[in-house]
Structure 1
């Protein structure tokens, strides 16, 4: 790929590598798309639709892509017994990962509200019977990568790598070899995988960590940060699924996910062990 387009969106760094340089209209379209998504889902923006639900509850009409996001969260909420939930926003805020980035816990860990007690997500209509703080970051960034990839394809760009700080979507003729960053040493890798017209997403507890054992991967059912798993990688057909499963693998066993999803994975545990899918196209060092 000969051209790169870098920008900031949804609070993170993005890079689009392409075989042909993106024209100005396409670049502008990508920026508009990411801004529109952020304006709906960001819990860090006072003017977002999600923040309005946190203040007063009520109903929200999401973009058409919201139906797929809700269906994925519903499935993973069921499989994990409530440990993975879009209502985890209240837990993260309570721990100090709030809009002001105070990084100061407000008290002992407490579970997120149960989905079935106050939230309905039917198609692209989201209804909260009382104020709730949503956080769809476990799948939303991946979905936005997919939306950017689809937009680029519609504009005629079919040789691209969309990379949102490690959430990657590849479309093209030449496979890429991607290193898997060591969870305790960002200057080294624990292995590599081949990315060939698929998505690759990673999640690690060291990426956003603060305080005494606090980090952004939390169990919504208990309100506590996960300790057993420290890093995951998932390869799947689309980035939304890969992103969501990278978080789900902190909360449940791969065997619980395999009946409903097609994916490859790597897990690293806090005791130094690693586990990976037999079909993984790659190698661990």
Structure 2
């Protein structure tokens, strides 16, 4: 979704469609730098290309030096691995490949679900260094798109583009006007706030069983809103991309989730974590608001999730 009244810059990257909206058109040099940031991220983290850094880890154990952002990503995954009892893990790549979500997009299961290997037996992630004791298929898709959105936002700010709105196929980041001004989620719709902060944008929450309908709306001010749903990246007989690392099978109890946080990386990761861990438990360690829709039709949400559900 483009920001109302702004100019959009659209492109494809890491397997998804992006649109970056700004009050004025981006200069060609800015656009080239944004595309370079996407290419650099893909070259490090894509499990779908044989020349990526983590592709080598799937072929042989060893010590791998990753980009600076790997430190934050590793800390986040380690926390969510612990909180979910191993259900949410960056080692889920082999489980996804087993069910057909592989580099060839075969979308044909190769056998029964395959649990992910326990983190503590095969992986040591210290800052930007990964050390593996066996070949592992790493997949950071649960947080990677959000982290890339944050990196693109940082690149825009470095170039003096303080105001911007990033749409990564439904995962959204609404920038504020920069440090020193009022930030936070604000109520309102598509109007500039004289008191500072990003102009809130009203976002429809997609129905988990009917993409043409919405189950509610939410107002996104400064910060990120990310979603995860069982109706996205589906194939075969009820297969989808949100797998439980302890079993290797798709999660059946939750069908959709949304998370709002200060950064897109955290919002993206927590939207997936809500498939495994209750929002109230996650709030003990993370500052965010949330909505989870369960397969039996009921929904749970935090009191500060600034939106409305339709009856």
Q: TM-score by structure 2 length? A: 0.90
Structure 1: runs of 5 or more not aligned: none
CA distance in 1, matches of 2:278, 2:238: 22
CA distance in 2, matches of 1:98, 1:109: 14
Aligned to 2:282: 257
How far is the alpha carbon of 1:99 from its aligned partner? 0.4
Residue from 9, 17, 20 that aligns with 2:24: 20
Residue 136, structure 1, aligned to residue 160, structure 2: no
CA distance in 2, matches of 1:271, 1:90: 29
CA distance in 2, matches of 1:254, 1:72: 16
Give the alignment of 1:53-72 within 5 angstroms: 53-72=57-76
Residue from 141, 144, 169 that aligns with 2:173: 169
Of 1-10 and 170-179, deviating more is 170-179
Residue 95, structure 1, aligned to residue 99, structure 2: yes
How far is the alpha carbon of 1:111 from its aligned partner? 0.7
Structure 2: runs of 5 or more not aligned: 177-197
Residue from 6, 17, 39 that aligns with 2:10: 6
How far is the alpha carbon of 1:146 from its aligned partner? 0.3
Aligned to 1:199: 224
Give the alignment of 1:1-285 within 5 angstroms: 1-172=5-176, 173-285=198-310
Q: TM-score by structure 1 length? A: 0.98
Aligned alpha-carbon RMSD (Å): 0.9
Which structure has greater strand proportion? 1
Equivalent residue pairs, number: 285
